[in-house]
Amino acid sequence: MKRLFWACALLLVTVLARAQVPQPPEIAARQYLLLDLASGQVLAEREADTPADPASLTKLMTAYIVFDAIKAKKLSLEQEVPVSTRAWAERKGGGSLMFIDTTMRPKVDELLKGMIVQSGNDASVALAEAVAGSLDAFVALMNRQAQAWGLKNTRFRNVTGLTEAGHQSTARDIATLAARVIADHPDFYAYYSIRQYSYNNIRQDNRNMLLGRDPAVDGMKTGYTESAGYCLVASAVRDLPNGKRRLLSVVMGATSRDARAAESQKLMNWGWQAWDAVRLFDAGKPVAAVPVWKGTVAQASLGVGSGAVFVTVPRGEGTKLRTLIERTDPLVAPLAQGQRVGTIKVVNAAGAPLATLPLQVLEPVPLAGMLGRAWDALRLWIQ
């Protein structure tokens, strides 16, 4: 009976905990994930680690590698790129095109717009060849980058996203990739907000329908193949009293263009309405001032490292958060700036952990002179 009592009690606690978490709406897609980039928390997901055909979402990685090359000055936006017969041959592949041919020398900037706005497979091939010399070499760069990020379920076989055996990713991996594009290459992110682009007198609209429907949506990428279904990565940002908040949704395997847009919109609307992003700490601002021994000052300022710290909680739960500080005592000089001396834990009203952050020294504390060190050594011994 005692075992039955505790089993029932544990089940009740689990049910109550789940009841406090907002339940997402029904999303008509095979896989999806909603990520709050302010806190890094996943708010909703389904089959997010199931490998699937990523279609043209692949071009997020293609673009990332090109952005890296421009940043490293291996390419420039104004550089003209010859169009190879391999790039021109994409016209026979049945996918999206920028419509370039071997008589043209488009600039890198134009090819990026053709790849991102028009989802041009020919533009993707031309850029890959310009960066790495061959498609095989460029695909190797894509896979090395995926491995460096720990994307264990992602394998690239081409730069365009056309269906090929072994070419796969997941909603979670795609979300990680899209988040890295936003974080690592903010200067290039504006390409994803362009609503239409004309090249060689051929105008094409961006297939991300949310760019015209929701003023908060400012990117990112669509995809479609017969095996992948209709896919969309959408990113939206809002200015809130405590700072900017960005949501990123990944929807894969929807049934139509309209469906992928509608389901992405539904998912993000739920993210805005059901969750709050709470700003906990600002970068460089002290969380605590604690005694320090054998140093030139009596106290050390402790806080978090770089960047403001957010957590995402169910709407209205922000005032119930608690912050717990665990630190290694005594603190003895010298202390270096950025040195970890403990942990900050953020828990909700039920005591469940939401975030664990390193507690760091904000300003260096040099070693005191011989007399000061001797005096503090005596005080420590007495304690």
Task: Give the span between the Cα atoms of 51 and 134, in whole angstroms.
Answer: 27
Token pair of 34 as six digits:
């909603």
Assigned domain for 349 exists: yes
In this predicted structure, what is the pLDDT of residue 18? 43
CATH number of the CATH domain containing 378: 2.60.410.10
Task: Give the span between the Cα atoms of 279 and 301, in whole angstroms.
Answer: 20
Exposed e or buried b for every residue in 14-46, given b needs 16+ CB within 10 A? eeeeeeeebebeebbbbbbbbbbbbbebebbbe
Q: Both 82 and 170 in a single domain?
A: yes
Q: Both 270 and 224 in a single domain?
A: yes
Q: Both 346 and 249 in a single domain?
A: no
Cα four-point dihedral sign 75, 81, 82, 84: positive
Residues of the chain predicted below pLDDT 50? 1-19, 372, 376
In this predicted structure, what is the pLDDT of residue 137? 98
Q: Both 177 and 234 in a single domain?
A: yes
pTM over 0.85: yes
Angle among Cα 375, 379, 381 to the nearest 5 degrees reads 115
Assigned domain for 8 exists: no
Q: Both 268 and 321 in a single domain?
A: no
Q: Both 220 and 336 in a single domain?
A: no
Residue 333: which residues within 8 A CB-CB, separation 6 or more?
Answer: 292, 293, 294, 295, 296, 365, 366, 367, 368
Token pair of 368 as six digits:
């005191």
Assigned domain for 172 exists: yes
In this predicted structure, what is the pLDDT of residue 250? 98
Q: Both 80 and 207 in a single domain?
A: yes
Contact 89, 100 (CB under 8 A): no
Q: List residues with catalytic annotation.
A: 56, 59, 119
Cα four-point dihedral sign 207, 210, 215, 217: negative
Task: Give the span between the Cα atoms of 194 and 205, in whole angstroms.
Answer: 9
Q: Both 229 and 258 in a single domain?
A: yes
Taking only the tens place, the pLDDT of each residue in 53-92 is: 999 999 999 999 999 999 999 999 999 999 999 999 998 8
Coil, helix or strand at residue 233: strand
Measuring CA to CA, which residue among 260, 264, 282 is closest to residue 272?
Answer: 264
Q: Which DSSP string do the residues of 30-75 spell out, in sequence order?
A: SEEEEEETTTTEEEEEESTTS-B--GGGGHHHHHHHHHHHHHTTSS
Which of 253, 274, 295 marks a domain boundary? 274
Q: CA 196 from chain center: how many Å?
A: 25
Q: Both 90 and 185 in a single domain?
A: yes
Task: Give the span between the Cα atoms of 194 and 211, in whole angstroms.
Answer: 9
Assigned domain for 231 exists: yes
In this predicted structure, what is the pLDDT of residue 379? 57
Which of 244, 274, 304 marks a domain boundary? 274
* Share of residues in the chain with pLDDT > 70 (%): 90
Domain range for 375: 282-382
Q: Both 286 and 159 in a single domain?
A: no
- The residue type of 4 is L
Q: Both 317 and 227 in a single domain?
A: no
In this predicted structure, what is the pLDDT of residue 377? 55
Assigned domain for 174 exists: yes
Containing 61, the helix (H) or strand (E) segment is helix 59-71
Contact 215, 272 (CB under 8 A): no
Which of 274, 290, 307 marks a domain boundary? 274
Assigned domain for 13 exists: no
Q: Both 239 and 343 in a single domain?
A: no
Assigned domain for 14 exists: no
In this predicted structure, what is the pLDDT of residue 2? 37
Token pair of 115 as six digits:
């790849």
The number of distinct structural domains making up the chain is 2
Assigned domain for 325 exists: yes
CATH number of the CATH domain containing 196: 3.40.710.10
Token pair of 347 as six digits:
């828990």
Measuring CA to CA, which residue among 141, 139, 145, 148 is closest to residue 166?
Answer: 139
